[in-house]
A and B are shown apart, each in its own frame.
Chain A
Amino acid sequence: MSEITRLLKPEELTPATELTRQVLEQLDRSLLGREELHRLVLIGLLSRGHILLEGLPGLGKTALVQTIGNVMKLQFSRVQFTPDLMPGDVVGTHILQETDTGKREMIFEPGPVFTNILLADEINRASPKTQSAMLETMQEHSVTLRGQTRPLPDPFFVLASQNPIEMEGTYPLPEAQLDRFLFRVMFDAVDAPVLQNIITGRRRGNVPAPEWQLDADDLKYLFTVMENIFLPKPVASYIARLVSATHPDNAEAPEPVTRYVQYGASPRAAIAMAEAARAHALVDGRPTVGFEDVRAIARPVLNHRLILNYQARFDRMDAHGVLDQLLESLDDTGLYLPEDVSLQPTA
């Protein structure tokens, strides 16, 4: 049950929307041809979710994270994951040190995870032990060592990258750990005009410094506004139906789901979807969530949460294909008007 009793007033919402517009403007200016991706990453950050970036090397994953860190005036760390990376290398470790009094003590040396934005580069190259340690911090937002729990800085985001090729010597993230990520965003190659702009305007690919930065207060204000974006019941119902319909035994599941999906999305996916839809509405400058917000974020939220069966492999069907048909077949209002009946606005 929502505790919101009134919608945000335009004068309360507009500054927040303006801030998001400025963040996007800076990101778009720094990284060319990635407007939609920037929008999704910002929505992910506003939803306080972690994002898994998947794409080939050299597409700008690291540059994106660096730019976000710069634009948001947030602390930024990067860890290059390798098979011999140990959990202590990520979360930190205790080191025996001699104090000024000559007494020897175990002093905690924080790892790179103690930051606002952590880029976990090629996360699938680390051993499952290290992956698990880091994914635990993602969920708990704290690190517990030698019985002492240390909270991570707020906000804390993980932007992990994963290379879909060169699978040899990697440890693909299990489905349960993939579920911790709010979005899985695919990095596609940019088109020729964008490439031309990059090579003519960016010497050695240097990313220009941002002209404007979002400070911590602004970010807190954005989070406060996010809390007041209203999710109407029909939209909540649509999210619930959408997530339920990813399960093959659901009555509303379309044929591709029943045919190709082995396990559908978890309740965590529904929660993530609601949060991301709120953020999408905020970026769009609306105090309420509409069906279009849900549809806009449904693919990145759900695409890594569907476990497909072998039939999908045989038929070369991926999660995106299933989701496309699911979104097309599921009527958001639940009316399911017949084909020969349509709604048209009055003149």
Chain B
Amino acid sequence: MFRRTALRWMGVWLMGLGVLALVVRLTASLPPYWWAYGLGSLAILLGVAWQRELKRRPNAEQLRATFDKENKAGGLVMADAEVDTEAWAERQNHLRLPNLRWRGGRAYGGLFLALIFLGITLLVPTRFAKLLAEPPLEIGQTIEQAREQVNVLEEENILSEQEAEVKRSELERLKEDATGFNPAKTWEALDHLKLSNQNLAEQAAQEALKKMAALTEAELLGNAVDEMPKDAAPDSEEKALKELGALLNDLLNEEALENLAPEIQKALQQAGQKNLPMDPKQLAPLLKALRENKDALQKLAQKLAQNNLIPPNLAEQLKGAGELPGGEALKELLAKGGFGQEELREFLEQMGQGKGGVQRGPGAGPTQYGQPTDEAGAAFKEQKLSPSVSLNQARLAGVTSSAPEVTGGEAVLGRNALQNTQAGGGSALTAPVLPQHRGTVNRFFLRGKE
């Protein structure tokens, strides 16, 4: 009986061990000496089985009764324990001890199956097991795109080196943690990262747009001064150079003007601080520097747009802001002279505005109002509208080939069933009476009058 219990319990135990091993292999790695733990627990199991069977062992009386029953001794064997049965010894000589027979096929089969199951769980490749446990999430391409964006932002100094490194390590971690069981979490993190990149890039693009507008104004003024006719007003050149100096100094302070020669940079700072006109000899290298800076800004916008960091229309907007407007009016103003520095600045600002509608150009300009419209003599034409009738109660009044005559509704209402009724004398609900029912309806209303 112990063997029976032990085999059955071992089968269950091996099956349980197999399930445990499979779960551990799918989630982590098996601990070292796992087999020692297994054998230890098996020994405990066998000990418990032994103890259990020891307790369930039949007593001598039960064994004697079983012996008696199996031999069909009619109580003789049982009586032998209590009274003298010598007189019946001859009959007892023919008794045979019964054998305990166990049909253990099922227990052995169960144990064998449990062993096979355990073997399979231990032979399953870990890689396959991990694949089962953590199905991969294909985000390699998206990660690469995000990494490229970070690189571009770092190259263009939109992100500092440390910030870029943080973002790159975050991308690496996302790639490692990505699992098919919870894709939403990974995609949300990636979207958040890309959005933050795009926000930074858009911010940089907006700043570049402002710089581009300022650079364009400066280039426009520089070109006008450079091409100023000799018969221009005598003070125009000085005023224009002063304004140019102020503009460039502002650009310098906003770090919108780069790659300038140190002496020109110094001269610009002095001109800006002391409100002095610029040296005309420095005009040519300054114009060259302005164009180079504008080109750099445009390249930046293109790069950001190519990496999906800014919308394409923003890059287009930046390109439009870099285009020079016609400078004839400015040249005319300079030739004519007689303007103040403030007036020249307003003129320049207005020149840079109004190009490209909503999507193009700087856009942010002052609203200009003209004369208000005269309302004298204007009046609406009075017209009587027909009363509203719901469609399901509408009736066909007729078909015309021309526009229908507006009757005000009286004609339609006057022809219905309430035509001759007085107030309070009928129902508001009307229903068309079919020709075949009219006689009946008439008789109903005329009842008692006959």
Contact = CB atoms under 8 A, between A and B. Distances in A.
* A and B: bona fide binding partners: yes
Interface in B76-121: 76, 78-79, 81-88, 96-104, 106-107
A232 interface: yes
Given A7-B84, A10-B88, A291-B69, A344 B98 contact: yes
Nearest to A5: B83
B69 A230 contact: no
Given A230-B79, A234-B61, A290 B74 contact: yes
B99 A335 contact: no
A289 interface: yes
A10 B75 contact: no
Contacts of B81: 232-233
B78 A340 contact: no
Given A340-B106, A346-B99, A233 B87 contact: no
A342 B96 CA distance: 15
Given A5-B83, A234-B64, A333-B65, A341 B75 contact: no
Nearest to B88: A7
Interface-central residue, B1, B99, B106, by most chain A CB under 10 Å: B99
Nearest to B76: A288
Given A5-B84, A340-B106, A341-B4, A288 B99 contact: no
Contact of B103 (A230, A235, A340): A340
Interface residues of A, number: 37
Contacts of A293: 74-75
A260 B59 CA distance: 33
A343 B75 contact: no
A35 interface: no
Interface string B217-254: 00000000000000000000000000000000000000
Interface in A275-322: 281, 284, 286-293
B279 interface: no
Nearest to A4: B83
Q: Which of B1, B65, B69, B103 has the most CB of A within 10 A?
A: B65
Contacts of A9: 87
Nearest to B95: A345
B258 interface: no
Contacts of A288: 74-76, 78-79
A290 B64 CA distance: 12
Given A230-B79, A232-B79, A343-B101, A287 B88 contact: yes
Given A7-B85, A345-B98, A233 B74 contact: no
12 contacts: A2-B82, A7-B79, A7-B83, A232-B82, A237-B61, A286-B76, A291-B68, A333-B65, A338-B4, A343-B70, A343-B98, A346-B97
Given A2-B83, A234-B78, A287-B79, 16 more contacts: A7-B84, A230-B75, A232-B65, A232-B68, A232-B82, A234-B64, A235-B65, A286-B76, A288-B74, A288-B75, A290-B69, A334-B58, A338-B4, A341-B1, A341-B4, A344-B99
